[in-house]
Amino acid sequence: MKNIALIGTGRHGSRYGQHIFRDLAGVQLAGISRQSSDLGHEQANNWQTTFFDNWRSLIAEPNVDGVITVTPPALNLEVARECARLSKPLLIEKPLARNVKEAEEILRIMDAAGVSLTVAQTLRYNPVIQALRAALPGMGQLYSFYANQRLEPSTLTWHDDRNAAGAGVLFHTAVHVFDALKTITGLRVKRVMAQGRQIHANVLEDLVLASVEMENGVLGTVDVSKVGNARTGRFEFVCQGGQIHGDQIHAGLEIITGNTVSERRSFVQEPTILHLLQDWRDFLEGRRPNPITGEEGLSAVRVCEACLVSMKEQRWVEV
């Protein structure tokens, strides 16, 4: 039985807590920590675990076998330092950090201590993303792509706080899209040209369009936003043998040849966090490789930061 410390049990972090408590065999909560003491005690009671006012004390508990942090990324570096010091494997919710410098420091600290680091880029577990990855090689040479993730305006105040969040939709939405593109195509982003806007936000970008050049000369567009009251998560690929389209939010995939939809598939949405937790458990038990390495998390942050630089300087930026 693996005993896991969970730091951050707000809207998203509570999903981790629920899965560990209800759905994940071989794992139990060693304790939880969050800013709100009242809500923390209530959650701890519901999940039959212990609430800690101080997250450092929780990590230091002798029975803790691993740590999950689901907080604004401003805290990630400090959590990583403590996990490295105490040799506790760490799973960090994306984005890995507020910027490339902090992400590189997290990797350096964990590597120097010989402690494992996993990054929760959970979109790659979506069944449509996995189906696109499986089908794309059969479509022939890839020429271009389009990808979007459009969500409703955020209601979290820290999403518009540069110190807490690092950036807006680039680091909290596009970071998923860029990781998914690498997962589907196997190709690295080489350079980007981005434009962004503040529609509802006061400080950070909540709408971004980016032109992207990947390896093998593949060109594409990434469109991310939190401005309209609707959701889509489309990925479209133009290939020698036709086109393949998928929407990870609406759980559908189409293969188009000529002017005909030659194949149409629907999927049942699955809890991506649970699949990651199962893989992370198996990794901690030595039964599989690290599901998503720190290097992979850093790679996504590098692309997002290049987009930020491009927005500011209005030029193509190498990744």
Do 164 and 15 have their domain in common?
Answer: no
Evaluate whether residue 26 is within a structural domain. yes
Region 92-118: mean pLDDT is 98
Do 89 and 207 have their domain in common?
Answer: no
Locate 262 and state its tokens: 């030659």
Whole-number percent of the chain with pLDDT over 90:
99
Strands, E, within 34-97: which ranges? 66-69, 90-93
Quick one: pLDDT band at residue 202, thresholds 50, 70, 90?
very high
Whole-number percent of the chain with pLDDT over 70:
100
pLDDT digits (tens, 9 = 90+) for 282-293: 999 999 999 999
Global confidence as pTM: 0.96
- Provide the pLDDT for residue 274: 98
What is the full DSSP assignment across 196-237? EE-SS-SSS-SEEEEEEEEGGG-EEEEEEEE-SS--B-EEEE
Measured CA distances, 237 to 37, 131, 160, 220, 242 (Å): 47, 13, 32, 9, 9
* CATH code of the domain in which 222 resides: 3.30.360.10
Query: What average pLDDT is seen over the chain?
Result: 97
Evaluate whether residue 296 is within a structural domain. no
- Provide the pLDDT for residue 128: 98
Evaluate whether residue 173 is within a structural domain. yes
Do 165 and 284 have their domain in common?
Answer: no
Do 95 and 127 have their domain in common?
Answer: no
Do 50 and 185 have their domain in common?
Answer: no
Quick one: pLDDT band at residue 294, thresholds 50, 70, 90?
very high
- Provide the pLDDT for residue 296: 98
| Comparison of pLDDT for 134 and 36, the residue scoring more | 134
pLDDT digits (tens, 9 = 90+) for 43-89: 999 999 999 999 999 999 999 999 999 999 999 999 999 999 999 99
Evaluate whether residue 19 is within a structural domain. yes
* CATH code of the domain in which 26 resides: 3.40.50.720
Region 212-228: mean pLDDT is 98
Do 218 and 313 have their domain in common?
Answer: yes
Residue range(s) defining the domain that contains residue 244: 123-270+301-318
Specify the 3-state DSSP secondary structure of 54. coil
- Provide the pLDDT for residue 38: 93
Q: How many distinct structural domains can be found in the chain?
A: 2
Evaluate whether residue 170 is within a structural domain. yes
Burial class (CB in 10 A: 0-12, 13-18, 19+), 113: middle
pLDDT digits (tens, 9 = 90+) for 206-218: 999 999 999 999 9
- Provide the pLDDT for residue 162: 95
Do 240 and 142 have their domain in common?
Answer: yes
pLDDT digits (tens, 9 = 90+) for 153-200: 999 999 999 999 999 999 999 999 999 999 999 999 999 999 999 999
Q: How many CB atoms lie within 10 A of CB 112?
A: 9
Enumerate residues 6+ apart whose C-beta is below 8 A from 179. Answer: 94, 121, 123, 124, 296, 299, 300
Length of the chain as a residue count? 319
Do 82 and 211 have their domain in common?
Answer: no
Do 30 and 105 have their domain in common?
Answer: yes
Region 305-314: mean pLDDT is 98
Evaluate whether residue 230 is within a structural domain. yes
- Provide the pLDDT for residue 99: 98
- Provide the pLDDT for residue 59: 98
Do 164 and 266 have their domain in common?
Answer: yes
Evaluate whether residue 156 is within a structural domain. yes
- Provide the pLDDT for residue 91: 98
- Provide the pLDDT for residue 58: 98
Region 10-19: mean pLDDT is 96
Do 141 and 262 have their domain in common?
Answer: yes
pLDDT digits (tens, 9 = 90+) for 234-250: 999 999 999 999 999 99
Do 169 and 244 have their domain in common?
Answer: yes
Evaluate whether residue 69 is within a structural domain. yes
